[in-house]
């Protein structure tokens, strides 16, 4: 998963940089630019200027990107307008890193779990990089495992596009052809089919991929 941060405590970022690919904006203009050219699962910014916040919110797809704004601005209008534009939470200063981290976890709860159940007793183990059922396990390496875990974490959403997968998983998505997604999807299917004799991933034409529900 991918995170854009601006003006955020380094200690907080250190707590989550193993969970999110993290882009750190240099200033609010840089944050606005990044929110336009990359797809993010989470944008975390500290900003008091409502116009700057609105510019960022205009660039994102709120169905994919959760935006948390930390601010010293106590105006109720500030909060209401940004929530209406798609921000998921406005946190008023002073606010502790512990509270912010809890808020992030509440939004992407499965991203903080080590073992994620899928269906019919299947589960994915993040630490082992394995897909399990009873005593059977398939170990997937590199991006193949990252793609499968991302699809399972987002199993309740509509199909996930190749572009979203690239931005969520690769450090430099602009440098990668989307054909690499198809290669990894085929690798996942072949490995899981061999072990479990099932296909777990559906290709939705012109839309992307989705794990097959119960």
Instruction: Please report the pLDDT score of residue 36 as a whole number.
Output: 94
In the chain, DSSP assigns E strands to 2-6, 21-24, 42-46, 66-71, 89-92, 115-117, 123-125, 130-133, 136-139, 201-204, 208-211
- 17 and 96 share one domain: yes
Instruction: Please report the pLDDT score of residue 141 as a whole number.
Output: 87
In the listed set 84, 110, 136, which residue is the last one of a domain according to the structure? 110
pTM of the model: 0.89
Mean pLDDT of all residues in 36-50? 96
- 50-89 confidence digits (pLDDT tens): 999 999 999 998 888 999 999 999 999 999 999 999 999 9
Residue 19: exposure state from Cβ atoms within 10 A (0-12, 13-18, ≥19):
middle
- 53 and 129 share one domain: no
CATH number for position 85 = 3.40.50.2300
- 153-182 confidence digits (pLDDT tens): 998 899 999 999 999 999 999 999 989 999
Instruction: Please report the pLDDT score of residue 135 as a whole number.
Output: 85
Percent of the chain exceeding pLDDT 70 equals 99
In the listed set 79, 110, 141, which residue is the last one of a domain according to the structure? 110
Instruction: Please report the pLDDT score of residue 214 as a whole number.
Output: 59
Range of the domain at 48: 2-110
State how far the Cα of 61 lies from the Cα of 131, in Å rounded to an integer. 30
- 138 and 79 share one domain: no
Mean pLDDT of all residues in 2-27? 95
Number of domains composing the chain: 2
- 59 and 142 share one domain: no
State how far the Cα of 90 lies from the Cα of 54, in Å rounded to an integer. 13
In 87-148, DSSP assigns E strands to 89-92, 115-117, 123-125, 130-133, 136-139
CATH number for position 124 = 1.10.10.10
In the listed set 57, 78, 110, which residue is the last one of a domain according to the structure? 110
- 137-157 confidence digits (pLDDT tens): 999 988 999 999 999 999 889
């Amino acid at each position: 998963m991918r995170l854009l941060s601006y003006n955020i405590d380094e200690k907080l970022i250190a707590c989550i940089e193993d969970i999110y690919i993290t882009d750190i904006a240099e200033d609010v203009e840089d944050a606005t630019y990044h929110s336009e050219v990359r797809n993010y699962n989470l944008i975390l910014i500290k900003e008091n200027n409502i116009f700057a916040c609105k510019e960022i919110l205009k660039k994102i797809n709120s169905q994919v990107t959760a935006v948390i704004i930390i601010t010293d601005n106590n105006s109720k209008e500030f909060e209401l307008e940004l929530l209406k534009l798609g921000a998921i939470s406005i946190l008023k200063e002073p606010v502790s890193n512990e509270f912010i981290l809890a808020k992030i976890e509440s939004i992407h709860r499965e991203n903080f779990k080590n073992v994620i159940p899928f269906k019919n007793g299947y589960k994915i183990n993040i630490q082992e990089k394995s897909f399990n059922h009873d005593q059977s396990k398939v170990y997937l390496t590199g991006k193949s495992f990252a793609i499968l875990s991302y699809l399972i974490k987002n199993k309740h959403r509509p199909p996930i596009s190749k572009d979203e997968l690239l931005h969520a998983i690769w450090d430099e998505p602009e440098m990668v052809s989307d054909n690499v997604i198809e290669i990894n999807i085929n690798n996942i299917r072949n490995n899981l089919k061999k072990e479990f004799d099932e296909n777990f991933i559906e290709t939705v034409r012109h839309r992307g991929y989705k794990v097959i529900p119960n």
